Structure 1
Amino acid sequence: MSTRGLRILLVSHYYPPHLGGIENVVHREARGLAAQGAHVTVLTSGDRSSVTVEDGVRVVRVAAWNGAERRAGVPFPLFSPALLTTALRLARRADAVHVHDCLYLSSWAAGLAARLTRTPYVLTQHVAVVEHPSALVQAVQRAVYGAAGRALLRGARSVFTLNASVARFVRAHGAPEHRTRHLANGVDAERFRPAASAAERAALRERFGLPADRVLVLFAGRLVPKKGYDLLLAAHTPDAGYDLVFSGSGDTAALAGRPGVHWLGALAQEDVADAYRACDVFALPSTAEGFPLTVQEAMASGLPLVTTDDPGYAPYALDRDRVSLLPRETPALAAALRALAADPERRVLMGAYSRAYAEKSFAWDDHVQTLLAHYRGEAPR
């Protein structure tokens, strides 16, 4: 089956302009597939039901209530009853369905629709059970993955995972080992690039209202405990030799009034790319996230990387002399950031490694070609 004319249904609980890692991945996949000649439809949530064409992609939004995210930080839209009938209609017209994460109502509806219409589907599982302060939220996640999630994983033609921890998780929940594949997300290496000059970096700092003469450590993501923003705050002191820069929404009150701490707000993708270029180091002491898209963006932007030493990173074979992989502990984080702030030569070496690694390993064209082979049933088993 040729790519041109192939009909693909991508399914994600959120899609831009909603901000987040999964929706950004789906957006980039959709555009890449469309550029290869596929007819791409995205099924997602919206404040109201609508059908639009965006970047050559048909986007079908089903009305959903998003109060759980607004009130409790739980990204779980509750769809209108039209979700299942819409999923059935779209799956019937598709040659393949691609479901992103098996936790959400949109995923369950799409998986059921694919089975009822006998349309093959693949699934990308981005994370395992996410840590949350609420015991109820934790229990609900485990119950969902043990029931609906298990059914989705068992029935998928292929299950893509982003790291070794998630690969173990999906196999433990029913995904056959011979159908499980490691597939890194791609990154736009033209949008996310190093600053071309000191003058460009200085202009960006002025634009964002950031100090011109300080080492800047950037955190990009939601300000929630699993991302580790609180660990960065705890590790930082006024004499640390660097300032912290935060981009994202969430517990912004925790940032207020702290010396050497700057908040840029929740930025659009093009502005996030500029924020990377304005800064000197990227730090993300998160937990249970796979290989976060922000890490890939930071590496493509040529920033030294400081992140959690997650055993799930093993498939990426990162050079530990050029990437700081740390215990998720405040003292280790504080020591690493202080040392980097005081060592500009090491920052240059680490940044060069980041950029070279991203160019080699995170090419979107390779990612899209892998997807197409699995959609067509041509990938080796």
Structure 2
Amino acid sequence: MKRVLLVSHYYPPHIGGIENVVRNEAGHLRRAGVEVTVLTSGARTVTEDDDGVRVVRIAAWNLLEKRAGVPFPLLSPRVWPTAVRWARWADVVHVHDCLYVTSWAAGLAAALTRTPHVLTQHVAVVEHPSRVVRAVQRGVYRLAGRGLLRRARRVLVVNGRVAEFVTDQGARPSTVRLLANGVDTDTFRPPASDQERRAARLRFGLAQDRVLVLFVGRLVPKKGYDLLLAAADPAYDLVFAGDGSVSTSDRPGVHHLGALPPEQLAELYRAADVFALPSAAEGFPLTVQEAMASGLPVVTTDDPGYAPYGLDRTRVRLLPREVPALRSALSELTGDEELRAAMGRYSRTCATEGFAWPEHTVRLRAHYMGADGSVTREAAA
């Protein structure tokens, strides 16, 4: 396996979880000697990044994201012949999520060129507040998604909830494998000293003498930012990083820094004391992994998707998605520095032993080999 076509609806500099996963997979595969082309949306270009990854962008319109917060680019018809060209070039086509036009084009191209395809499904149906959006998602999964899942040689999932979802949608159980997203444990790391933590707070204009509870993600109800606002307490400051808007003028102790690139985001994690993400139906999102790699105690929703990872529930707070539970957990952590430190050490150990990118890349390549008909010990793991 020498050539891989990675397919994603968005890719950096567009900011988002899937985009970051694909960028890191591309870079680590390339450094391992694999030729990589990324097919994505954007202004029509073909470029090569610093890692030697070829990025093929298809012209797209992003009206749905701009007007309704739905990340669904509408691509030029050129996506179809372009996908066929690069699927023919590749040994394996790796599609990220089956909800997008790029995915449908790549899946069809893989079938036409008889190129094995692997699919990573990141989420199940997103419980969007709009009934129309929820209905459209279910319709897409039943139609285009079902075919993509059924034909995939490997279906990679990040948690147990998504594993159940893809099987219900038509994936063959024998093809479904658990593969955690990778995280850069060098970029996302604890502060080396109190001085580094203070410098990070100074950079973002945050108080030096307050406990900081950090939320990272889009400011939409699914992510639970509104629950954190409702649970807020004067004992700590809330810091939000992500696209969207939240009023801070009449809320002392609430800060919104907007969406940040990975390097700045890593510094913000080092400025914080606690990470909180009361999101819905996400399982084990990338931001939780980044926070753990940064040595932060984690407060998040008790989701069935965490079950395969065997987390110590005394060291990670997995809670009902309710304001009283959030308020109680954050109050406990705010007042107990030793508990925060113990949970932070546990987080860092989990990340370095289970989520580092080099390990992820080894397992991913083994799955590619398995998709191509080879049997390897790593792919069976």
SS in 2 for 1:289: coil
Q: Is the CA contact 1:309–1:326 (under 8 Å) kept in the aligned structure 2?
A: yes
Equivalent position to 2:44, from 27, 45, 49:
49
Q: Judge which range, 370-379 or 202-211, deviates more.
A: 370-379
Q: Is residue 317 of structure 1 aligned with residue 317 of structure 2? A: no
Range moving further from structure 2, 363-372 or 88-97: 363-372
Task: Describe how 1:91-102 pairs up with structure 2 within 5 A.
Answer: 91-102=87-98
Q: Which moved more, 1:253-262 or 1:277-286?
A: 253-262
Q: Indicate whether 1:308 and 2:301 are aligned.
A: yes
Between the aligned partners of 1:184 and 1:210, the Cα distance in structure 2 is 32
Q: Is the 8 A contact 2:191 2:197 kept in 1?
A: yes
In 2, distance between residues paired with 1:370 and 1:190?
A: 20
Distance of aligned partners of 1:164 and 1:351 in 2 relative to their CA distance in 1, 3 Å threshold: same
| 1:152-231 aligned within 5 A | 152-231=148-227
Structure 1 counterpart of 2:58, which letter?
A: V
Q: Who is 1:276 aligned against?
A: 269
1:12 aligned residue: 8
Match of 1:76 in 2: 72
Q: How far 1:126 sits from its partner (Å)?
A: 0.1
Contact 2:122 2:162 in 1 (8 A): yes
User: Helix, strand or coil: the match of 1:376?
Assistant: helix
- Aligned residue type for 2:250: G
Deviation at 1:264, TM superposition (A): 1.5
Superposed CA offset, 1:104-145 (max 9, x none): 000000000000000000000000000111111000000000
1:118 pairs, out of 114, 135, 154, with 114
1:370 shift after superposition: 1.4
Q: For residues 346-361 of structure 1, what are the structure 2 equivalents within 5 Å?
A: 346-361=339-354
TM-score when scaled to structure 2?
0.96
Secondary structure at 2:59 match in 1: strand
1:129 paired to 2:138? no
- Range with greater deviation from structure 2 (16-25 or 366-375): 366-375
Match of 2:229 among 221, 224, 233: 233
Please, what TM-score do these two structures have when normalized by structure 1? 0.96
Distance 1:87 1:337, change over 3 A: same
Q: What one-letter code is carried by the residue in structure 2 that aligns with 1:311?
A: P
- Gaps of at least 5 residues in structure 2 are none
- The alpha-carbon deviation at position 373 of structure 1 amounts to 1.6
**Per-residue deviation, 1:97:** 0.2
The letter for the 2-side match of 1:245 is V
Partner of 1:297: 290
- Tell me which amino acid in the other structure corresponds to 1:17: P
CA distance in 1 between counterparts of 2:204 and 2:22 reads: 28
Tell me how large the CA RMSD over aligned residues is.
Answer: 0.9
Question: Deviations for 1:227-286, whole angstroms, at most 9, x for unmatched residues?
Answer: 000000000033xx1110111111x14444211101112111000000000010000000
Percent identical residues: 67
* Cα distance in structure 2, aligned partners of 1:35 and 1:141: 36
Tell me how far 1:372 sits from its aligned partner.
Answer: 1.2
* Correspondence 1:242 to 2:236: yes
d(CA) in 2 for partners of 1:308 and 1:145? 25
SS, match of residue 61 in structure 1: strand
Could you tell me which amino acid in structure 2 is paired with residue 278 of structure 1?
A
* Paired position in structure 1 for 2:24: 28
Give the aligned residue type for 2:275.
F
Residues 1:376 and 2:372 are matched in the alignment: no
Is the deviation greater in 368-377 or in 219-228? Answer: 368-377
Residues in 1 aligned to 2:207 and 2:358: alpha-carbon distance in whole angstroms: 37
> 1:133-164 deviations in whole A, cap 9, x for unaligned?
11110000000001110000000000000110
Q: Tell me, in whole angstroms, the C-alpha distance in 2 between the residues paired with 1:52 and 1:288.
A: 36
- State the alpha-carbon separation in 2 of the partners of residues 184 and 215 from structure 1: 30
Work out whether residues 282 and 305 of structure 2, in 8 Å CA contact, stay in contact via their aligned partners in 1.
Answer: no
- 1:287 alignment partner in structure 2: 280
After TM superposition, list the pairs within 5 Å mapping 1:59-70 onto structure 2.
59-70=55-66
In 1, the alpha carbon distance for the partners of 2:256 and 2:236 equals 15
Task: Report what 2:84 is aligned to.
Answer: 88
| SS in structure 2 of the partner of residue 204 of structure 1 | helix
Q: CA offsets per residue over residues 320-345 of structure 1, 9 Å max, x none?
A: 00000000000000010011000000
* Structure 1 unaligned spans of 5+: none
**AA partner of residue 340 (structure 2):** R
- 2: CA distance, partners of 1:200 / 1:192: 14
Higher alpha-carbon deviation: 352-361 or 368-377? 368-377
How much does 1:290 deviate? 2.9
State the alpha-carbon separation in 2 of the partners of residues 372 and 207 from structure 1: 39
Size of the aligned set, in residue pairs, is 373
Partners of 2:335 and 2:364 in 1: CA distance:
43
